[in-house]
Amino acid sequence: MTTTPAPTGANPMPPQTRSLLREPAFLRLWAGTTASGLATWALPFVLGLAVLHRDLGAAGLGLVLAARTAGFLVAVAVGGVLADRHSRRAVVLWSALMAAAAAPLLTAGLGHSVALMTAAAALAGAGQGACRPAFQALTAETVAPEDRQRANAAITMAVRSSTLAGPVLTSLLATFLDVRTLLLGIGLLWLIAALVPGRGARAAAEPLDEPMPRTGFRADFLEGMREARRHPWFLAGLAALGAVITLGYSATSVALPLISRDRYGTEWVLAAAMTGYTLGALGGAAVIARWRPRSQGLVAFAGLAAYGFAPLSLMLPVHPLLVVAGYVLAGVGIELFNVPWFTAAQREVAPDKLARVSSLDFLVSYGLAPVGLALITPAVHAFGATAVLAACTVVCFLVPAAAALVPTARHFARTPRAPLVRPGAPARR
């Protein structure tokens, strides 16, 4: 069986037919990452149930969630440095244990002390933030380069599936279990994330370039930023991602519930649009798991720009099915961006700086969303929802298109990659 040469700039290895989930090392990593993603999603939902049960007030819920976000943003930068200094597996272990320890503290504070719950939420956010860049780097150590795109797609499909099935499962469990038990269940998920993943099987085969010198945290973090600047495609993607999250994602988060209620007079549009987004994301991940486009960067930026269909569908009084269709397209597009984006970082970034560069990604992804939410609401009151949605649509379409014009963005590669030679064929010079 011959192998078709890969085009310059594309992933040089063809998709394989074997199942990654049959490989114990990846299965353990996949299970741990999925557990952490499910635990991350479940906490705000369970805390919302606590508000419904009057164990926590609305103001207390806002304070607790804000503390979790603050803990995440601080720890994601620290976790990136630690994961490059030390074993990525060890950082995953201790950060997930930190998040697990927050669960009984949240349980103890529920209905008694908002201050204790706030501190526990900050601890949970810190554990969540520290493990994210470590998981990214551990994936690169565990999975062979030719399998990483499928691995990232499998992980994101598991997380998306949990957001789709999670509300139903949690609501079902809530009929039998109280909120405190559900919070302890989140702690159990974090224990799975801490204990199940194994050591990077390929850490020895792909060693770090050199031992990381013992310098200060600031110097180490700045070194990661310098590594990021070596990759123009990464900076362009980060800018485009930040624009889409700050304006597009935030605008739709604010506008969709209001438009569902005021224009269509039903919550069905809200539920259907969000379900359509998740189903679209699952479909996009399934497609990109095996598709190797010639210009993966252009495809990825086109996918990111597709998020503009979400605010576009909300601008005019169209049939609600068109709103759902806009969200499906946005979901498909976001994974056409995410999976190649993560894979390219694992391939192109220096292995000893991967966690720090990944932490920049998560800082932008999670840090700008609250900023956008804070800005969009007064903007809607000042200029009207249609004008704000129109501006956000233009940004979502144009900024990724501009990012695609940056040198090296076409293939998400700093230098062109050599084509693969068929077995028995002479090597090209």
CA 413 from chain centre, in angstroms, equals 21
Regarding whether 192 and 271 lie in a shared domain, the answer is no
Regarding whether 371 and 260 lie in a shared domain, the answer is yes
Is 92 within the bounds of a domain? yes
Regarding whether 261 and 186 lie in a shared domain, the answer is no
Question: Which positions ≥6 away from 293 have C-beta within 8 Å?
Answer: 10, 299
Is 250 within the bounds of a domain? yes
In this predicted structure, what is the pLDDT of residue 132?
92
Name which of 414, 288, 283, 400 is nearest 344 in CA terms: 414
Domain count, the chain: 2
Is 150 within the bounds of a domain? no
Tokens of 355: 């966690």
Regarding whether 235 and 191 lie in a shared domain, the answer is no
Is 207 within the bounds of a domain? no
Tens digits of residue pLDDT in 67-77? 999 999 999 99
Is 15 within the bounds of a domain? no
User: Which residue type, as a one-letter code, is found at position 263?
Assistant: R
Question: Which positions ≥6 away from 132 have C-beta within 8 Å?
Answer: 76, 79, 358, 359, 362
Is 212 within the bounds of a domain? no
Rounded Cα–Cα distance for residues 106 and 281 (Å)? 32
Rounded Cα–Cα distance for residues 76 and 100 (Å)? 17
Tokens of 261: 């209620």
Neighbours of 204 (CB within 10 A): 9
Regarding whether 182 and 228 lie in a shared domain, the answer is no
Regarding whether 230 and 191 lie in a shared domain, the answer is no
Tens digits of residue pLDDT in 153-174? 999 998 888 877 777 777 788 7
Is 5 within the bounds of a domain? no
Name which of 229, 266, 242, 428 is nearest 348 in CA terms: 229
pLDDT for residue 7 is more than 80: no
Neighbours of 383 (CB within 10 A): 12
Q: How confident is the model at residue 428 (pLDDT cuts 50, 70, 90)?
A: very low
Q: How confident is the model at residue 423 (pLDDT cuts 50, 70, 90)?
A: very low
Is 305 within the bounds of a domain? yes
Rounded Cα–Cα distance for residues 96 and 421 (Å)? 43
Tens digits of residue pLDDT in 118-151? 999 999 999 999 999 999 999 999 999 889 999 9
- Inter-CA distances, 121 with 100, 113, 421, Å: 11, 12, 53
Regarding whether 386 and 254 lie in a shared domain, the answer is yes
DSSP state of 249: I
Question: Which positions ≥6 away from 74 have C-beta within 8 Å?
Answer: 126, 129
Regarding whether 277 and 190 lie in a shared domain, the answer is no
Show the domain range for 262: 221-411
Regarding whether 185 and 73 lie in a shared domain, the answer is yes
Tokens of 308: 């503009």
Question: For residue 280, what is the domain's CATH number?
Answer: 1.20.1250.20
Rounded Cα–Cα distance for residues 195 and 28 (Å)? 9
Regarding whether 177 and 231 lie in a shared domain, the answer is no
Regarding whether 38 and 76 lie in a shared domain, the answer is yes
